[in-house]
């Protein structure tokens, strides 16, 4: 290792220790074999509400796992999806090692967040917006038992969820117990996360973002706010496809293509209506949708040109018919984006919650390999 690499690793470790944190654990447990410390802190936030009854709004809870030996040049920031919290990354519902500890084992400093107004990041009535909650039946169909309940072509290929994936099964019940209310407004969610995510990167320095599902939107807006501090993005089944909600044309969504709030384009735009769009005449395959992309000549995503991105989708997820559209949109906009379907890597049977499924560490290993190859 040369002196510059050694200095970079020292800087990553120092950033994790520089600011005051509450240390949760200094001992290595069954799922923390490589950890030196596990701490927490908050970033962002501002006072809001009546002058005589102020509360802090928009702050974000951050948990940090620091390995005994930091061997990776950039930390990872893991951002959960809708109705979830940082617990997604910590351990599977059947008690196996989660991605957070796996990546710490590989020498990464790992930051886990609860999105603003979610989980340990306080939501305030009258200040923060309306909440939504997913039912157990929704999660059975979309996440844990699509092979029985799903209505998309790939659903029958799902095999990797531990247990039956149905209410009354102890593993499903343990998973559903982790679900929480989340903000109903995607615009509000993105605005809050843009501020808090920028504050986190200002504090910890350059990092790789790993997003999942709804937080795919947050990765894009955080990178747009701090392009020099985002060294790469892994977008696991991000909300999509561009301009539409899921695989349907109605209702429209993400008027800025991949986001609901403004991101920078080149040539610049004064509003979303300046993004001219057109639909592909034919889908890429019979079990995929035709994508809506920009009309050529396409504008570039101005702040993403030097950020390597991986969009990945599992074999059986409800995202399988359309996540290629997000990758195609990024590529058309000049982003160095890769698209990987897990079956192309010999990884089969996964659904949307791949980080919790039986082969979760096989997937994490593949993602770590991509980081090693693409992030400089």
The whole-angstrom separation of Cα 328 and Cα 207 is 24
The whole-angstrom separation of Cα 197 and Cα 212 is 15
Tokens of 9: 């690793």
279: Cβ contacts below 8 Å, ≥ 6 apart: 290, 291, 292, 293
Q: Which of 61, 76, 79 is nearest to 212 (CA)?
A: 79
Phi first, then psi, for residue 144 (nearest 5°) are: -110, -25
Neighbours of 135 (CB within 10 A): 10
Phi first, then psi, for residue 284 (nearest 5°) are: -70, -25
Chain center to CA of 53: 34
Q: Which of 39, 27, 348, 372 is nearest to 234 (CA)?
A: 372
CA distances from 131 to 102, 143, 314 (A): 32, 21, 29
First and final CA of the chain: distance in angstroms?
15
Q: Does the active-site annotation cover 25?
A: no
Pairing between strand 55-57 and 46-48? Answer: antiparallel
Catalytic residue among 25, 121, 170, 213: 213
Tell me the Cα Rg of the chain. 20
Please list the active-site residues.
213
């Amino acid at each position: 290792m040369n002196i510059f690499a050694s200095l970079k690793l020292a800087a990553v470790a120092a950033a994790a220790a520089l600011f005051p944190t509450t240390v949760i654990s200094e001992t290595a447990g069954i799922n923390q074999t490589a950890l030196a410390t596990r701490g927490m802190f908050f970033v962002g936030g501002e006072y809001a509400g009546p002058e005589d009854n102020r509360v802090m709004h928009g702050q974000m809870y951050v948990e940090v796992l620091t390995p005994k030996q930091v061997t990776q040049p950039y930390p990872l920031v893991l951002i959960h999806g809708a109705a979830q919290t940082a617990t997604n990354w910590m351990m599977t519902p059947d008690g196996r090692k989660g991605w957070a500890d796996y990546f710490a084992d590989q020498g990464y400093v790992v930051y886990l967040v609860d999105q603003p107004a979610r989980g340990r990041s306080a939501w305030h009535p009258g200040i923060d917006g309306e909440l939504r909650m997913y039912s157990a039946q929704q999660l059975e169909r979309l996440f844990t038992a699509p092979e029985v309940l799903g209505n998309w072509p790939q659903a029958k290929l799902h095999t990797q969820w531990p247990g039956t994936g149905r209410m009354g099964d102890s593993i499903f019940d343990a998973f559903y117990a982790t679900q929480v209310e989340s903000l109903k407004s995607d615009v509000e969610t993105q605005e809050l996360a843009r501020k808090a995510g920028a504050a986190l990167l200002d504090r910890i320095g350059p990092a790789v973002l790993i997003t999942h599902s709804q937080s795919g939107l947050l990765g894009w807006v955080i990178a747009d706010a701090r392009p020099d501090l985002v060294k790469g993005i892994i977008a696991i089944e991000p909300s999509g496809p561009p301009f539409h909600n899921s695989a349907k044309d109605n209702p429209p969504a993400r008027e800025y293509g991949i986001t609901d709030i403004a991101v920078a384009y080149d040539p610049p735009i004064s509003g979303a209506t300046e993004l001219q769009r057109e639909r592909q005449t034919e889908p890429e395959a019979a079990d995929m949708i035709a994508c809506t992309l920009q009309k050529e000549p396409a504008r570039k995503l101005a702040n993403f040109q030097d950020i390597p991105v991986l969009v990945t989708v599992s074999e059986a997820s409800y995202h399988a018919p359309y996540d290629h559209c997000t990758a195609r949109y990024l590529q058309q906009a000049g982003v160095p984006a890769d698209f990987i379907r897990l079956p192309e890597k010999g990884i089969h049977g996964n659904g949307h919650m791949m980080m919790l499924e039986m082969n979760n560490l096989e997937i994490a290993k593949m993602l770590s390999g991509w980081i090693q190859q693409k992030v400089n």
